[in-house]
């Protein structure tokens, strides 16, 4: 099989999975299916699936709108109705989309939620966002409060606190709305499928230790986390997708190939970078090309851990279903304190033998942006690897200054080049 055919197989599968899901959502009301809106970090996809309900993730709709160049109009719509310029642009994009007919990323109309499931993992904006959706739809809200991890460890009290809420608040709410009784065996079955997909995803991340790295763990990585961060964790489809993806990446390792990009493969890996912070979605391909054409490859990123941190060893565990859901929610990247984040980044810089560490500080997201400069300085001191800092936004194109960002990226890469030359 040719490289292109092999590459296409997982991409084609992912595209079909997403299209099928949005088709199901479009037919949800006539099929009698209940719909749950929820957030990516700390999502309880297996639990929602165990009640045969369909998840909608407003952040994913917002980022897809950004990639499809629709977010500027939606944000303008939300600002017209009074949402200030400082509000997270995912929220404004979603509100604008709702007010413009709630047409989802694939062009089909999204159903109204039957339940808003608010997994609270460190972002206060989540609460305000669902307050707005509650006003819009008038449906019930159930909140899972996930305590912040200040010291880098999950204590029994923290885990029990989350499990108690799952037992006493979240599961009863899902039972009420779905009209179905909770089946713990069905949840466990789904968690076993999650763990298989998670094993393969970790193998894909770890392939970036090779030289050349066969993947770009940031720009390519956001495609790899699509199924596991959204509606598909705990499904056979996700297991097959990650198995195929891993096989494709293994084939690239054997052939000593660098990552594929929208403008072709990276044929010469010149810089290995670790990145902190989400990407910009409105100029995603331009942003990627600024690095790929210079042979700069991202070998690890924190953004691809925001919906679950698996490379530290965590797997969903069917033998302790609720406890394992609690550990998953507690362990998402933005639920970790700054010292733990710094330790993780230090590990990535060392283990993936990075030449540089870049921060993309997005205007919208305090969950990411707070403390990033301090983190950068600490990491420079600890690793000796030079840091770079750029600023943009998630889905507001007004905050992506292409020329300015390009200048900064080029200066940074030139500095890394000079440093390498000085060492050789």
- Comparing CB distances to ligand SF4, the nearer of 222 and 322 is 222
Choose one: 14-22, 44-52, 123-131, 165-173; the region binding ligand SF4 (CB under 6 A).
123-131
Q: Least distance to ligand SF4 from the beta carbon of 381, Å? A: 27
Applying CB under 6 A, among 6, 106, 343, 366 the residue interacting with ligand SF4 is 366
123 near ligand SF4, rule: CB under 6 A: yes
Give the C-alpha separation, 297 to 218, whole Å: 9
**Joined tokens for residue 22:** 């949005």
- Comparing CB distances to ligand SF4, the nearer of 214 and 331 is 331
Residue span 370-399 as binding mask against ligand SF4, x where in contact by CB under 6 A, dash where not:
------------------------x-----
Q: Least distance to ligand SF4 from the beta carbon of 360, Å? A: 13
416 near ligand SF4, rule: CB under 6 A: no
Residue span 83-122 as binding mask against ligand SF4, x where in contact by CB under 6 A, dash where not:
-----x-x--------------------------------
228-287: which residues touch ligand SF4 (CB under 6 A)? Answer: none
Cβ-proximal residues to 345 (8 Å cutoff; 6+ apart), any chain: 274, 276, 302, 357, 375, 379
364 near ligand SF4, rule: CB under 6 A: yes
- Comparing CB distances to ligand SF4, the nearer of 207 and 372 is 372
- Comparing CB distances to ligand SF4, the nearer of 123 and 385 is 123
48-67: which residues touch ligand SF4 (CB under 6 A)? Answer: 59
Using CB under 6 A, count the residues that bind ligand SF4: 11
Closest CA to 37 of 150, 124, 119: 119
- Comparing CB distances to ligand SF4, the nearer of 123 and 274 is 123
Choose one: 170-178, 207-215, 220-228, 361-369; the region binding ligand SF4 (CB under 6 A).
361-369
Helix axes 71-80, 58-67, angle to 10 degrees: 120
Q: Least distance to ligand SF4 from the beta carbon of 121, Å? A: 8
Q: Least distance to ligand SF4 from the beta carbon of 41, Å? A: 7
Q: Least distance to ligand SF4 from the beta carbon of 221, Å? A: 17
Q: Least distance to ligand SF4 from the beta carbon of 157, Å? A: 25
Q: Which residue is nearest to ligand SF4 (CB)?
A: 365
Beta bridge partners of 264: 261
Residues forming contacts to ligand SF4 in the complex (CB under 6 A) are: 59, 88, 90, 123, 125-126, 364-367, 394
């Amino acid at each position: 099989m040719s490289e292109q055919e092999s590459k296409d197989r997982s991409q084609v599968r992912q595209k079909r999975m997403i299209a099928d899901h949005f088709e199901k959502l479009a037919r949800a009301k006539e099929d009698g299916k209940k719909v749950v809106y929820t957030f990516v970090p700390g999502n309880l996809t297996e639990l929602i699936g165990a009640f045969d309900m369909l998840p909608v993730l407003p952040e994913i709709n917002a980022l897809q709108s950004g990639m499809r160049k629709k977010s500027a109009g939606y944000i303008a719509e939300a600002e017209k109705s009074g949402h200030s310029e400082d509000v997270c642009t995912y929220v404004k994009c979603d509100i604008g989309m709702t007010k413009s007919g709630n047409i989802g990323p694939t062009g089909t109309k999204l159903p109204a939620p039957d339940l808003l499931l608010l997994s609270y993992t460190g972002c206060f904006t989540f609460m305000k966002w669902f307050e707005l959706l509650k006003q819009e739809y008038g449906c019930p809200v159930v909140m899972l409060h996930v305590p912040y991890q200040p010291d880098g460890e999950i204590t029994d009290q923290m885990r029990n606190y989350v499990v108690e809420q799952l037992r006493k608040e979240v599961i009863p709410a899902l039972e009420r709305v779905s009209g179905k009784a909770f089946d713990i065996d069905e949840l466990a079955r789904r968690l076993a499928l999650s763990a298989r997909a998670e094993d393969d995803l970790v193998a894909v991340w770890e392939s970036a230790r090779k030289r050349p790295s066969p993947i770009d763990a940031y720009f390519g990585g956001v495609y790899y986390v699509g199924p596991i961060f959204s509606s598909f964790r705990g499904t056979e489809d996700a297991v097959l997708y990650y198995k195929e993806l891993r096989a494709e990446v293994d084939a690239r390792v054997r052939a000593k190939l660098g990552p594929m990009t929208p403008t072709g493969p990276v044929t010469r890996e010149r810089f290995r970078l670790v990145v902190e912070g989400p990407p910009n979605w409105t100029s995603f391909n331009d942003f990627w090309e600024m690095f790929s054409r210079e042979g700069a490859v991202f070998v690890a990123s924190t953004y691809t851990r925001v919906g679950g941190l698996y490379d530290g060893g965590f797997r969903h565990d069917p033998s302790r279903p609720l406890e394992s859901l609690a550990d998953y929610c507690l362990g998402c990247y933005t639920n970790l304190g700054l010292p733990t984040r710094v330790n993780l980044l230090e590990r990535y810089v060392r283990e993936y033998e990075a030449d540089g560490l870049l921060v993309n500080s997005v205007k919208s997201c305090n969950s990411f942006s707070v403390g990033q400069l301090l983190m950068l300085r600490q990491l420079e001191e600890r690793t000796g690897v030079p840091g770079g800092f750029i600023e943009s936004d998630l889905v507001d194109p007004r905050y992506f200054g292409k020329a300015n960002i390009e200048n900064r990226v080029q200066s940074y890469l030139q500095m890394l080049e000079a440093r390498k030359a000085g060492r050789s």
